[in-house]
Amino acid sequence: MNCVILLFDGFDELDAIGPYEVFANAANAGADCTPSLRTIDDTDRVTAGHGLRVEPDGRLDAVEPDLLVIPGGGWNDRGETGTWAEAERGVIPEAIAEAADREATIAGVCTGGMLLARAGILDGRPAVTHNGALSDLRATAADVVEARVVDDGDVLTAGGVTAGLDLAVHLVDRLFGAEIADAVRTEMEHTPQGSVHVS
């Protein structure tokens, strides 16, 4: 399956790279999982929120994602890059809605969940985001719940930054089984924290 992580200028590094490593380790452990880093626009390089420069694998429209992961970053400071800027631009929310219409599973990490909300796919659904953006999420039609990871079937959200690791490990467990998830946790020496709300 194609596990696509969507990058944009100002994304939070760990929100994207953490899940990427989880999915890559799952593939190494035998999962039918091909992770890639994609962008909406043609670009050779994306600059993350803390200055990390990443060369993406290509455009989103060059693949058909089975899973689309949206990182957060930059929502709370309302900067010129990051999730707030992308929400205002509107292109990524449109792409999220289109992927959901094509029955991809959509996962928002940290304030990436706000882009899911802007796309309209959290309306009436349980969700969570970074603690600093919960009031903004409550102002949408989402049903905010207290959990580190929220799994509502084809739409998942996670709290701030490191919760993306937990979301990705949860997805590996759900999609590829406990044995592969255990192998990933062992390889990464990661113990998921907090609760998972499953609808």
Summarised one tens digit per residue, pLDDT across range 162-187 is 999 999 999 999 999 999 999 999 99
106 pLDDT higher than 90: yes
45 pLDDT higher than 90: yes
Q: What is the pLDDT of residue 161?
A: 85
Q: Which domain holds residue 125?
A: 2-198
Q: What is the pLDDT of residue 96?
A: 98
Q: Would you place residue 83 in the very low, low, confident or very high pLDDT band (cuts 50, 70, 90)?
A: very high
Q: Which class for 63: exposed (0-12), middle (13-18), buried (19 or more C-beta within 10 A)?
A: middle
Q: Would you place residue 132 in the very low, low, confident or very high pLDDT band (cuts 50, 70, 90)?
A: very high
127 pLDDT higher than 90: yes
Average pLDDT, the chain: 97
78 pLDDT higher than 90: yes
Residue 186 belongs to domain with CATH number: 3.40.50.880
Strand order across the beta sheet in which 34-39 lies? 58-59, 34-39, 2-6, 67-70, 105-109, 155-158, 149-151, 196-198
Q: How many domains does the chain have?
A: 1
Portion of the chain with pLDDT greater than 90, in percent: 98
CA distances to 3, 89, 116, 139 from 69, in Å: 8, 19, 10, 23
Distance between CA atoms of residues 69 and 16, nearest Å: 8
Angle at 166 between CA 63 and CA 196, to 5 degrees: 110
82 pLDDT higher than 90: yes
Portion of the chain with pLDDT greater than 70, in percent: 100
Q: What is the pLDDT of residue 139?
A: 98
**Tokens encoding 117:** 């909300």
The predicted model gives 147-161 an average pLDDT of 96
Q: What is the pLDDT of residues 51-76, one digit of tens each?
A: 999 999 999 999 999 999 999 999 99
Asked if residues 96 and 60 have their Cβ atoms less than 8 Å apart, the reply is: no
